[in-house]
Structure 1
């Protein structure tokens, strides 16, 4: 039972490392909606300033995850800092259920991420040696790090609510995996409850309490997020409608406008303009 397979297949993950080695000066990161950041302190001290709240100083190796899309500043402390910093993005940006499931801020000492020792070791080796293909290797390893972090958040129980908490629940996960695998299916509350092996009332209550929204609302958002990802990939609207569970392009367009305030074509044009700017 692979809890991430369908999500990662349907929402393309791309990551890029932009600092690998000594952090020589403070860097300002402007707001980027739908983009997450990973900052790993490997040596020295690191100062982090967020849009709200006082600056924080880290003096031991740590992984910092930021997904809120707010501006932040990163700088070396008095002892200097060696860092590995990257950004990542899923298809459809912040409407992607994986992105929305991640905590807005997570600070985890590297010593707690024992299951990632091998991957982090590879990344540090690439960071400290100037070898051919270094940037491409670091970018791919950063993608793997995001996936490993998703596993960690589910398995360690670090997230108490939202999709990752649902995927960590042995019964809810069965219904979520089925929904993610077949978004085009005519899912009903009864059908999802049967997948979870629960009564209709118990399933609806547990789903809402864990994920923060009713099953029907989650399904609608999931389908629209997938539709946006497919629009971004240039898939025709009539093909998208069938793949995400709508009887026709007009039915998809109606749902799209109800949830986003614009038609699929209007969203596609605005998204293309935003990508150029």
Structure 2
């Protein structure tokens, strides 16, 4: 079994599309974004800006060379100063769709701030609960990136991909941003663990082993006792610390990982429905049926039928791209 918790955590989370742009800003400027169902990246190529959430939390100042990740696309404002007037993001990029790229100018020349921005759209079916618990913003300072040559080379090469139409450019860009996201979360896990219970869980030597077991071998007949042995901890200490860091009991987390996989398999009509229960660790169809209905308020069969209808409603070119 792999001992890499980040790989196991992100394995079900696959990117399906990306919109990226180079922002050039000058003078007094501000942009107000909105909640989005995607991960967002801001990389400060030159200059800097101030990020705020409008809920009373202190603004975050980012500088040249800093990388900012919004794992859940949380609405935020980025501006030249905390009190700068803002324009809605939708007014600046009104018709941008995933897969497109562009250059956006805001404020007035001379443009002293240059920022690479991207919206990474991933499949909601595969979003792990532990990923959902990541903080709304992760700030990686320039000094933290200095020991990550692969990440820096990828970030530095992305601006040259803007507007390219060479064969495979769209897929190359998608995979490049996927690499940026994974490497960023690895740095956060290693260097910012104390800032978030979820990052602490990923970094903790015992809890991370249990998470690898749950996410990588979910079909095994795990119990609290066997998971605590996997973690090298006593049952009581393990249960308490797991709940504190992950936000739910170990068996609840295991159940949700199994049901997450069930939804993925149900969305794939080539997988016989009667095989799914055993494939995700349930010893009976009845147990799987009851657990799925309790969590999603529909039966596995109803879920598969709903997914089939949604797939038929997706335009052909869009559906084809989802398979990349």
Q: TM-score range by the shorter chain?
A: 0.7 to 0.9
Structure 1 residue 245 corresponds to structure 2 residue 281:
yes
Task: Give the 3-state SS of the residue equivalent to 1:71 in structure 2.
Answer: coil
139-148 or 78-87: which moved more?
78-87
CA-to-aligned-CA distance 1:140-197 (integer Å, 9 cap, x gap):
1111111111211221143555444223111222222122221111111111111112
The answer to whether the Cα contact below 8 Å between 2:31 and 2:78 also exists between their aligned partners in 1 is yes
TM-score of the aligned structures, taking structure 1 as reference length: 0.81
1:182 aligns with 2:217: yes
Q: Does 1:99 align with 2:131?
A: yes
Give the alignment partner of residue 166 of structure 1, picking from 196, 201, 209.
Answer: 201
Residue of structure 2 equivalent to 1:262: 298
* Aligned partner of 1:121 among 141, 153, 160: 153
* C-alpha separation in 1, matches of 2:24 and 2:303: 41
Aligned to 2:10: 8
Contact 1:46 1:58 in 2 (8 A): yes
Counterpart among 68, 71, 75 of residue 67 in structure 1: 71
Aligned residues: 276
2:35: which partner in 1? 31
Q: Does 1:140 align with 2:175?
A: yes
Question: For 2:67, what is the secondary structure of its paired residue?
Answer: strand
- Is 1:154–1:164's contact at 8 Å kept on the other side of the alignment? yes
**Structure 1 residue 258: Cα displacement:** 1.3
CA distance in 2 between counterparts of 1:6 and 1:238 reads 26
RMSD (CA atoms): 3.3
* Higher relative contact order, structure no. (Cα contacts within 8 Å, ≥ 6 residues apart): 2
Query: Looking at CA atoms only, which structure, 1 or 2, has the larger radius of gyration?
Result: 2
Residue ranges of structure 2 left out of the alignment (5+ in a row): 80-105, 316-324
